[in-house]
Amino acid sequence: MKSMASLASVLLILALCACRGVAPHTPPVFDTTQVEQRLAEGMPPPVGGTTTATTPVATAPLRVDPSEAAGVADLPTTITQLYTEEPIDLPLADVVRQTLDNNRSIRIEGYTLRIAEYEIPVSRGIYDLLLFARTQFDRTESPADVDGADDLESRSRLGQFGVSQLLPTGAVISAGYAMARATREFIDFTPAGDISRTGTHTHVADLELRQPLLRGFGPAVTNAGIRVAQIQHEGAAANFHARLEQTLARAISTYWELLGAIEIYQVRIINYAAARDLLRINQRRLETGVGVRIDVLQAEAAAEARREQLIVARRNIRELEDQLKRLIFLDESHPLWSAQIRPTQPFTWSNLEVDLDQTIELALAERPELRAARTGIELGDVDVTVARNRMLPALDLFARTESRGIDDDFTDAAGGAFGADYTGYSVGLEFSYPLQNRAARYRHAQAEVGRERAVEGFRDTQDQVVFEVRRAVRNLMTARERILVTEAQLRAETGKLQDEQRRYEVGVTTAFQILTFQEDLAFAESQHLNAVIDYNIAQVELDRARGTLLRTFGVEVVEPELAPRHQAPLFPVGWD
């Protein structure tokens, strides 16, 4: 019994030493040192799943510098000047960095992941040593058996403490020590009839064990909560990875849209300048008597319509700037929120050859959404295991041993408890089972259906991933074909307008035809620019669809781990 008391003391010391603080939450940390290199390489996809030729293709020969176009120099600066102040140059690499560091949705998902991580030690709390203590005082009065004597009274004081520990088998073992003192007044049946007082000290040291043998038996059931917390942490990490890729893809796509909107704005300037230039020519022709008023009115109407297109194009640029700022900056209180942005990424595209089957295979292995869906099946397995165990009868083994010391003196009573003066033990079995057992049976049925639902959800996610990959590959191939088609169309429209202008100079055609050809050229230029932008966005979406966007841009997630692996709970489960 001395060893039992020593064990209780050691457990108490360990329990007190385990009371420590929790490390503060740290935001996610990313290594983006390779982003510039990956951009310089044309963002080749990671090895495995695709073959690629990523030679940047410049589109400069098909773009017209507004400063060299006829009539642009005569336009007011309120039309040609896009920025009202010195803009901030923003390379694509900075968009990647600032999105990862500042985006709120990423931070929120990071908090969610850390909460799931903290849930693991919470679930391990079932193995925390339980310290318990109790103190009690009782007083009871009873009438005396002799006439004229005062009422008699008895008093008792109880002090008890101990520790309790859960074991992986489902057993609960507890060690305790109790001290009691009972005092009692009684009538001394002598001729004097005096009332006497006596007191007794009782000390008891005990060790008790209760072990489930059927329901609640074994580590699979005992550690079910820990396993659930670990699986949910894996799912939260997968969701965090998915949010990273989705948000980064949206930021990069918005950057390309902004770059395309600026290019289209330049086209609108050229188109507006051409209408103004034609208006001046027609006005001179009317003044000299060789022109007609309808040509002037047509050119004037076209110029105003194209000016309205310029206003809309500028508004689109400002809106895209705000969208991009919302993604890369924290909020509108950021000092750079009111600044204007000038993208510095070269306006090029890289020809990418993709094997559809290999890309689908890569996506099925890499997409974080599939990892998240797979955790649903694992949670279903745990639920089925626990529910199956709960259908069993409750059969518990219980055992108890104690050492008792009783004496009028406190010290002698304690010595008797530690010296095993009076010992005892008990052992037995306890059985219970509800005859219908409906709750357990239907809980098990629910768990089975829940797992089947998780399997179907996983298959549905697989189908969605395959669909997104096929759509991304199709959009990439379509955009590349559009680039080639619009390039040929742009060359044809340029030549057509040049020929028509020469015919107009000799009076063979009309100003209306010139305006129509100008609109056709502007439309062809916009279509070609949109095709290039759509192709670059399709590349980004393809990387997101196969789950490799971070690797493509050379982003390493330092903290937190995106694919944490659970560890089997050991006993005792740490003191963190």
Question: Mind listing the pLDDT tens digit for each residue in 55-107?
Answer: 445 444 445 555 555 566 667 666 777 888 888 899 999 999 999 999 989 99
> Checking DSSP bridges between strand 195-212 and strand 556-559, what pairing results, if any?
unpaired
Does residue 461 register a pLDDT over 50? yes
Can you give the pLDDT at residue 330? 63
Contact 197/183 with Cβ under 8 angstroms? yes
Most confident of 87-91, 273-277, 386-390, 552-556: 386-390
Give yes or no for a contact between 154 and 140, defined as CB atoms under 8 angstroms apart. Answer: yes
Q: Using CA atoms, how far apart are residues 353 and 476, in angstroms rounded to an integer?
A: 9
Residue 404 has pLDDT above 80, yes or no: yes
**Integer Cα distance of 392 and 389 in angstroms:** 6
Distances from the Cα of 252 to the Cα of 248, 280, 282, 533, 540, angstroms: 6, 43, 45, 11, 7
The single residue listed with the structure tokens 């705000």 is 322
**Rounded alpha-carbon distances, angstroms, from residue 41 to 86, 259, 374:** 30, 20, 35
pTM for the whole thing? 0.84
Higher pLDDT, 537 or 192: 537
Lowest average pLDDT, out of 55-59, 281-285, 441-445, goes to: 55-59
Q: What is the pLDDT of residue 555?
A: 92
Q: Is the pLDDT of residue 496 over 70?
A: yes
Span of 239-243, 351-355, 396-400 with lowest mean pLDDT: 351-355
**pLDDT confidence band for 53 (50 / 70 / 90):** very low
**Which of 276-290, 377-391, 398-412, 506-520 is most confident?**
377-391
Q: Which of 36-50, 288-302, 314-328, 352-366 has the lowest mean pLDDT?
A: 36-50
Nearest Cα to Cα of residue 80 among 309, 341, 268, 316: 268
From start to end of 108-150, where are the E strands? 130-142
Name the residue type at position 343: P
Residue 102 is encoded by which pair of tokens? 């500042």
Helix, strand, coil percentages in the chain from 3-state DSSP, rounded to 5: 55, 20, 25
pLDDT on residue 320: 94
Choice among 131-145, 153-167, 445-459 with the minimum mean pLDDT: 131-145
Q: What is the CA radius of gyration of the chain?
A: 41
**Quick one: which of 104, 163, 120 has its CA closest to 22?**
120
Q: Looking at residues 187-209, what average pLDDT do you find?
A: 70
Burial 353-381 (b: 16+ CB within 10 A, else e): ebeeeebbebbeebbbbbbbbbbbbbbbe
Amino acid residing at 353 = E
CA angle 154, 207, 200 (to 5 degrees): 20
Amino acid 3: pLDDT: 44
Q: What is the DSSP letter of 282?
A: H
pLDDT given for residue 63 in this prediction:
53
Per the listing, tokens 């202008």 go with 501
Mean pLDDT confidence for 200-221: 92
Q: How far apart are CA 406 and CA 516, in angstroms?
A: 114
Confidence bin at 309 (pLDDT 50/70/90): confident
The pLDDT of 419-443, averaged and rounded, is: 90
Which residues are within 8 A (CB) of 407 and not within 5 positions of it... i.e. 6 or more apart?
A: 200, 201, 413, 416
Q: Enumerate residues 6+ apart whose C-beta is below 8 A from 71.
A: 273, 274, 276, 277, 280
- Res 60: pLDDT: 42
Side chain identity, residue 17:
C
**Do 471 and 365 touch, CB atoms closer than 8 A?**
no
Distance CA(317)–CA(183), nearest Å, equals: 91
Residue 350 is predicted with a pLDDT of: 81
Please tell me which residue, 69 or 542, carries the higher pLDDT value. 542
- Helix/strand/coil for 471: helix
Return mean pLDDT, the chain. Answer: 83
DSSP label at residue 62: G
pLDDT band at 276 (very low <50, low <70, confident <90, very high): confident
Q: Are the CB atoms for 235 and 125 separated by under 8 Å?
A: no
